[in-house]
Amino acid sequence: MTQGLPPALSVRALGLSYGATRILDGIDLTLPAGEVLALLGPSGSGKTTLLRLLAGLLRPDAGRIEIAGKAVADPGRGLFAPPERRGLGMVFQDYALWPHLSVARNVAFPLEMQRCPTAERRARVTRALERVGLAALAERRPSELSGGQQQRVAIARAIVAEPPLVLFDEPLSNLDRELRETMVDEIAALVADLKLSAVYVTHDHAEALALADRIAVMRDGGIAQLAAPATLIDAPASAGIAAFLRLGTLLPASRTEAGWTITGSRVALPDPPNAPAGAAARVLLPERALAPAATASPDARARLAARVLRVQVRASGFALTLRLAGTEHEVALLSPRPAAPGDDLELAFAPEALRWFPATDDPTDHPLP
């Protein structure tokens, strides 16, 4: 459908430093037209800086950025297009609505800048406001609107000029959870409807997974993994990414004569498909691969005994926190059946669902709270 179009965004070897500090290094990205790329990472990982570079609000000192096939920044050739010449839409974290202009004037601004004729402008502003369900509030001041409404105005302003690329800078971080979930759905629908190409910065992996066609996980000013959501969940490139995405429990594993066990215990693990080098490894026990064992399983090594520590009742089931028998490690599990703290359970998993990482991989990694 979008074949033949240049990519909405292409970034090559992009870098930025403040003095001697390297903020971003060697960023490579390609976003096909009509797709959404999420920049996912903890704060300080450089994702907002990367977005500001794309917007032209910061000047890179290495690499090249192309938007819709047009180079907008290439310090090697002295090329830098200021923000206003990049034809982007952008939704800011704090919405950045102009308090002295009405909702309609806020939304009309990008069109005004393109010298769009008044009649057409009015029609397009109305259409954009209708899309976000705010047509009735067009003459209000931003300060008279609720947080969610202000967010919708910001989105309407970003899409009204139908830019080739829309940038979202943690747009939902100021909203409460319920509204955030609604807005994720709305943005997803809007993006799909308008076939928008978008870069979406967030630290919330649920948002990224819900919205993005591809996710770039950022760490320490670089891209740790760039993949489709399913791939990312199925095959995180490192233990650190697995931890950040909270895919499950990371267990230290040691090779013994009897095969692999959880380090410091006698709990046995199934053999890895490709044996990691060395005598130690880390293994991801994905939460979604775990289930309470219903019947006796033939393979004792695809089962784990555990004791229930805490139980939370959820609409979708019972969220259990359990301690693996014979270890200090905890695992989480969503069970369809109730359980009480102190109950002992058998957990079953498919051995091929385990993901093995080298033991040396990212020893400092911790998922952020």
Partner 1 sequence: MARGSTTGAGGSRGFLWISALSLGLVVALPALFVVLVAVFPDLGRGSLAAPFRPLWRVLSDPALAVLLRNTLVLGLGTVAVSAALALPLAALRALFRVPCARVWDLLLLIPFMIPPYIAALSWILTLQPRGYLEQLSGVNLAGLLFSVPGIILLMALNTFPVVYFILSRNFETIGARFSDVGRVCGAGPWRAFLRLTLPLATPGIAASLLLVFAMAIEEYGTPAALGRRIGFEVLVTGIENRVSEWPIDLPEAAGLSLVLVLLALAAFAVQRWLLARRDYRILGGKPQPFQKRPLGRWRLPVLALFALVAGVATVLPLLAILAAALGRTISGGLRPDNLGLTNFAELLDLGSGGLRALSHSLSLGVATALLAGGLGAITAYAVARGAGRGRAALDALSLMPNALPGVVVGVGIILAWNQPWLPVSPYNTPLILLLAYTCLLLPQPVRYASAALQQQGDSLEAAARVCGAAPRTAFARIVLPLMTPSLITSMLLVFAVASRELVASLLVAPVGYETISVYIWRQFDQGSVGLGMAMALCTIAITTLIPMLLIALMRGRLSPG
Under rule CB under 8 A, residue 364 binds partner 1: no
Under rule CB under 8 A, residue 57 binds partner 1: yes
| CA-to-CA dists, residue 87 to 3, 82, 83, 190, angstroms | 22, 10, 8, 19
Under rule CB under 8 A, residue 97 binds partner 1: yes
Under rule CB under 8 A, residue 86 binds partner 1: yes
Which one, 161 or 324, has the nearer CB to partner 1?
161
Under rule CB under 8 A, residue 98 binds partner 1: yes
- Least CB distance to partner 1 at residue 348 (A): 44
E strands, the chain, are 9-18, 21-31, 36-40, 62-67, 70-74, 79-80, 89-91, 166-169, 198-202, 214-219, 222-227, 248-256, 259-262, 280-286, 290-292, 303-314, 317-324, 330-335, 344-349, 355-358
Helix axes 147-159, 118-131, angle to 10 degrees: 130
Q: What's the gap between Cα 137 and its chain centre?
A: 32
DSSP letters for 127-168: HHHHHTT-GGGTTS-GGGS-HHHHHHHHHHHHHTT--S-EEE
Under rule CB under 8 A, residue 150 binds partner 1: yes
Under rule CB under 8 A, residue 318 binds partner 1: no
**Residues paired with 260 in a beta bridge:** 255
Which amino acid, one-letter code, is at 101? L
Among 126, 174, 254, 265, binds partner 1 (CB under 8 A): 174
- Least CB distance to partner 1 at residue 178 (A): 19
Among 141, 301, 303, 323, binds partner 1 (CB under 8 A): 141
- Least CB distance to partner 1 at residue 129 (A): 16
Which one, 159 or 306, has the nearer CB to partner 1?
159
- Least CB distance to partner 1 at residue 32 (A): 22
Which one, 95 or 200, has the nearer CB to partner 1?
95
Under rule CB under 8 A, residue 18 binds partner 1: yes
Give the footprint of partner 1 on residues 20-49 (CB under 8 A): 23, 43-44, 48-49
User: What is the distance between the alpha carbons of residues 335 and 11, in angstroms, rounded to a whole number?
Assistant: 43
**Residue whose tokens read 């259409």:** 127
Under rule CB under 8 A, residue 17 binds partner 1: no
Under rule CB under 8 A, residue 143 binds partner 1: yes
Under rule CB under 8 A, residue 359 binds partner 1: no
User: What is the distance between the alpha carbons of residues 303 and 174, in angstroms, rounded to a whole number?
Assistant: 43
Tokens coding 9: 């965004």
- Least CB distance to partner 1 at residue 128 (A): 13
Under rule CB under 8 A, residue 95 binds partner 1: yes
Which range of residues in 67-75, 142-150, 231-239, 287-295 is near partner 1 by CB under 8 A? 142-150
Residue length, the chain? 369
Among 17, 26, 42, 109, binds partner 1 (CB under 8 A): 109
**Residue whose tokens read 């409404």:** 149
CB 37 within 8 A of CB 216: yes
Cα angle 109, 112, 113; round to 5: 90
- Least CB distance to partner 1 at residue 95 (A): 5
Under rule CB under 8 A, residue 252 binds partner 1: no
Which one, 90 or 187, has the nearer CB to partner 1?
90
Under rule CB under 8 A, residue 99 binds partner 1: yes
Residues 6+ apart with CB under 8 A from 80: 56, 59, 72, 73, 74
Helix axes 147-159, 177-194, angle to 10 degrees: 20
- Least CB distance to partner 1 at residue 135 (A): 20
Binding site for partner 1 (CB under 8 A): 18, 23, 43-44, 48-49, 52, 55-59, 82-84, 86-90, 92-100, 109-110, 113-114, 141-144, 147, 150, 157, 161, 167, 174
